[in-house]
Structure 1
Amino acid sequence: MINTLWLRTFCTLVDVGHFTRTAERLHITQSGVSQHIRKLEEQLGTELLVRHGKQFSLSGAGVKLYDEAQGLLLALSNLESKVGEDPPFEGDVSVMSPGSVGLKLYPHLLALQCEHPKLIIDYRFGPNQDVERAIVDSKVDIGLMTSKPNLADVSCTPLAQEPLLLVTPATIKEPDWDTLMTLGFINHPDGEHHASLLLSANYPEFHHSNMFPKKGFSNQISLILEPVSMGLGFTVLPAHAVAAFAKPDHINVHRLEYSVSETLYLCVNRHRPLQMKTKTVIAEARQSLEHKPD
């Protein structure tokens, strides 16, 4: 493989036409220039310069090498430039989060992409443990989690608070304990955890969500409230998921005496430097999520 340092010296010498000025331009000695040319000729096994005292001209091989080297050195220069570039509004940025925060954040990130079309948003939904694993495996640039990560490779900072809400059919005005027991529970992947946090703080009778009759289950965040809206049971969900439901008139959202919120954490791989495009998306996430939903 041709040494690119020697090749650059050769092309500079051809452009400048003088050994001393070539040495000055490359900040090396004149003997260094001569050495690079000699090593290049030895590597290629052919004479590149025809010397005439202190002057020189190109041999046939030298002409061919110079013509081919121009494109190669330009490509290498462009590669160096591209590798060093760090544009804030261009490139792919991957994000992963649980469903509720995704329903809130994803539209904002799409609006950001509309404003900067070269910024490509890859958004995926998943539970906390999947988000954490994806960060460690460098499958996503940014992760949002509703619990602190357990793995040392994940760095996290608190980003926002998201209230948990009791949601019943629209016909329920006062969700006392007997009413909830009669309705039964619509479960979801985080349902037991959410119910434990909110209901234990507000109902002394509560010990576990298994106390309620089971009335359904859905793992699709946008569909969890469908059976609730049809009068089939109640559930506990984060506020962003409730706000995104398409039929708000069919449900009743109850803010109980003792409010309970989940902390939302912004998570990244602590060993990967943040690029400007990732910082752009993080800034949008902060702006979109820093306030509690209404």
Structure 2
Amino acid sequence: MLNPQWLATFITLVETGSFTRTAGLRFMTQPGVSQQLKKLEQSCGTALVVRLGEGIELTEQGRQVYEYALAQQQREEQLFDSLKFDAPYEGRCVIACSGALAQRIYPSLLMLQRQHPGLTIQLEVAPHRSIFQGISQSTIDLGISTQQPDEDNFSYQQAGTEPLALMLPANINGNSDIISKLMSLGLIQHPDASHYLNLYFSHCGDHALSDCDPAIFRQSGRINQLSQILLPVSKGLGFTVLPSSTLKHFADAAEVKQYEAPNSVSEPLYFVTSRHRQLAARYDVVKAALIAVLND
């Protein structure tokens, strides 16, 4: 079995590319780093790095040992997580949600981590299908989704709501003749635009919108990067429908307005987990913090 200390030093050396920095991070001398590398190479029976001045380049065998060392490190972390199963303020929490929702919840998760430094928050941004797949494969512990998975191996519970808004350029005045204004602007498409548009028009209580087929609007642009979707809207180049929370994180928020419809429109949010796996106690703490945010 390879010495864990040698492997840890090797990981640091690969990631820093420097014997000097590795020595500092590992609280060792440079000769000590070189000695551990030599012992590791002797144990493996092959050279792992090529020295390039003060830097290094991995050999093919070195790349394999590096990947092995990372896998061993991850297994050790998972073991420690499992040993802390019922510690409510310690361990790793792997959560996945949409990009818009990540913007909304991440500050609260970081605040929770500051209060309890033993927690490690790992937040993944992914579409619904990838979230459900990750839960099935045990790479994601807790998903937050607007969709309820229909497979029997999932459990879900209500977590909160995701308010939606019709986003317009700030210089659009009043609610009169809204269809003509939208026709003139054109739709800024994004991966969820059609779904949001149909949901918003159906439930906003504005008869002009509810009687309108969203398919009539021409597409004036398309982008799949959440942080940039409102940019063409702010420039007067189109309209779109997004979670209202996205406007708070947009740099030129003053150049965008939310349409004032008779009814607010929102989607339900669900916590999604594996039906066959009990989550550690720390997830109760995390879920309580998320519920507070998602119902604010």
TM-score w.r.t. the length of structure 2 is: 0.67
- SS of the aligned residue for 1:163 comes to strand
Equivalence map 1:150-161=2 (5 Å): 150-161=150-161
AA matched with 2:172: I
Which residue is equivalent to 1:124? Answer: 124
Where structure 1 has 5 or more consecutive residues not aligned to the other structure, the ranges are 1-78
Which residue is equivalent to 2:167? Answer: 167
- SS of the aligned residue for 2:292 comes to helix
Q: How many pairs align?
A: 211
Q: Is 1:213 aligned to residue 215 of structure 2?
A: no
Q: Is 1:244 aligned to residue 235 of structure 2?
A: no
Which residue is equivalent to 2:261? Answer: 256
- Select 2:184's aligned residue among 174, 182, 186: 182
Distance 1:84 1:232 in 2: 52
Distance 2:260 2:84 in 1: 51
The alpha-carbon distance between structure 1 residues 279 and 214, as it changes in their structure 2 partners (threshold 3 A), is same
- Select 1:197's aligned residue among 162, 183, 199: 199
**Is the CA contact 1:173–1:252 (under 8 Å) kept in the aligned structure 2?**
no
Distance 2:152 2:260 in 1: 36
AA matched with 2:216: M
**Paired-residue identity, %:** 36
Distance 2:97 2:246 in 1: 13
- SS of the aligned residue for 1:140 comes to coil
CA deviation vs aligned residue, 1:251-284 (integer Å, no higher than 9, x gap): 0111312332100111111111121122221111
AA matched with 2:238: G
Distance 1:156 1:262 in 2: 15
Larger CA deviation: 211-220 vs 262-271: 211-220
Equivalence map 1:54-93=2 (5 Å): 83=83, 86-93=86-93
AA matched with 2:213: H
The alpha-carbon distance between structure 1 residues 143 and 232, as it changes in their structure 2 partners (threshold 3 A), is same
AA matched with 1:207: D
Distance 1:220 1:84 in 2: 37
**Is the CA contact 1:99–1:241 (under 8 Å) kept in the aligned structure 2?**
no
AA matched with 2:190: H
- SS of the aligned residue for 1:139 comes to coil
Distance 1:220 1:259 in 2: 25
TM-aligned CA deviation for residue 85 of structure 1: 5.5
TM-aligned CA deviation for residue 204 of structure 1: 4.2
CA RMSD between the two structures: 1.9
Moved over 3 A (4+): 82-85
AA matched with 1:164: L
Distance 1:168 1:177 in 2: 12
**Is the CA contact 1:200–1:207 (under 8 Å) kept in the aligned structure 2?**
no
- SS of the aligned residue for 2:231 comes to helix
